[in-house]
Structure 1
Amino acid sequence: MGELKWYVVRSVSGQEKKAKNYLETELGRHNLTELVPQVLIPVEKVFEMRNGKKRVRERNLYPGYIIIHADLGHGEVDHIITSTPGIIGFLGDKDKKDAANNKPVPLHITEVNRILGIVDEAEEQVATLDKPYVVGELVKITDGGFAGMSGTVSEIFDERKKLNVIVKIFGRSQPMELNYTQVEKES
């Protein structure tokens, strides 16, 4: 067995998951899973507030691309990957191809670490807000003792995922620090 390296494969945009499933099925059918142990679609988790409910979804970091950890020394693997439905081919131009044997050039280890770091961070972190708030925006509190009240965003703390919201309580303006998940945009 040769050396496992990371490669980028182009896929039909919006069909990355389908292409990944086809590829994994095809590799399993040909007993080649040890030659391609990992097929990744780098994603990040984002949440959006809709109708007062928090919805978490995954968003592709690189639409139209799949990252694979593979040993392309085995002649069949390259062909199976490129002939899988939804996969267009390996990423690269003429400069990225090895002219001697026309094989794709693997990613540099620093690129791989950066991409895998983003993927690992995305798994660990709490989902980020898809549509951030702006200062002066009217928001409605959806959680806590002041649920149902409205206020105006006065400060945004992106790194902590919190807002300062000015709420009128008994005729006085009162600042409150709230999480992104405790408020929603007022329509």
Structure 2
Amino acid sequence: MSELQEAKWYVVHTYSGHENKVKATIERAVITRGMENIITHVVVPTENVVEKTPKGNEKIRQRKVYPSYVLIKMIITDESWYVVRNTKGVTGFVGPGSKPVPLSEEEVIAMGIELPAQEVVGGDVDFEPGDVVKIINGSFAGNVGTVEEVNAEKKEVKLLTEIFGRKSPVTIGIQSIEKI
């Protein structure tokens, strides 16, 4: 296949509890094989949940949104397919007959995956500390926050937003926020 193709998001099924190990293993393989332009992102979707401790306190922890699944943005080539498919803990791609079927951009956004900053049209970082913004997609969609820090290189901002009645810092891509 041509490497001029656009990378697309695919879903990979893993053994239960092996999602983070699979992610780390694939990321290491990408670096050692020099495949950064073919396999661009590996994501284990998570969300913050509040749990009550035995003492009655609230604790925020991250929970996997889709247990046993890892999302990978990649160009399907023989080598990239081989690297992913033969990673320890991977049972196969999601699709008919384990044939990889790409997700649409709408499906990726609906899953709460923030699109990487390089996919932002325009791409200019025009936020600065003190700006009040609204989160428009992802697991915190609808929340309002105040920009604390701006990382122009990564096209991310650190926000202070209210989660479960407490002010909490959240790092989020600029494509997922808009000024109010």
Give the drift of 1:21: 0.5
Query: What TM-score does the superposition give when structure 1 sets the normalisation length?
Result: 0.57
Distance 1:12 1:4, change over 3 A: same
Larger radius of gyration: 1
CA distance in structure 1 between the partners assigned to 2:36 and 2:90 by the alignment: 18
CA distance in structure 1 between the partners assigned to 2:142 and 2:61 by the alignment: 13
CA distance in structure 2 between the partners assigned to 1:41 and 1:107 by the alignment: 15
Partner of 1:85: 88
Distance 1:87 1:61, change over 3 A: same
Partner of 2:48: 45
Query: What SS does the aligned partner of 2:9 have?
Result: strand
Q: Does 1:107 align with 2:103?
A: yes
- Gaps of at least 5 residues in structure 1 are 98-103, 127-159, 162-178, 181-187
Partner of 2:139: 122
Partner of 2:175: none
CA distance in structure 2 between the partners assigned to 1:118 and 1:9 by the alignment: 18
Supply the AA of the counterpart residue of 2:110: R
Distance 1:76 1:117, change over 3 A: closer
1:6 aligned to which of 5, 9, 33: 9
Give the drift of 1:93: 2.2
Distance 1:57 1:105, change over 3 A: same
Query: What SS does the aligned partner of 1:122 have?
Result: coil
1:75 aligned to which of 67, 75, 78: 78
Supply the AA of the counterpart residue of 2:138: E
Question: Which aligned pairs between 1:9-48 and structure 2 lie closer than 5 A?
Answer: 9-48=12-51
Distance 1:14 1:123, change over 3 A: farther
CA distance in structure 2 between the partners assigned to 1:114 and 1:15 by the alignment: 24
CA distance in structure 1 between the partners assigned to 2:140 and 2:25 by the alignment: 24
Give the drift of 1:125: 7.8
Give the drift of 1:117: 5.3
CA distance in structure 1 between the partners assigned to 2:21 and 2:140 by the alignment: 21
CA distance in structure 1 between the partners assigned to 2:114 and 2:65 by the alignment: 9
Partner of 2:153: none
CA distance in structure 1 between the partners assigned to 2:49 and 2:92 by the alignment: 29
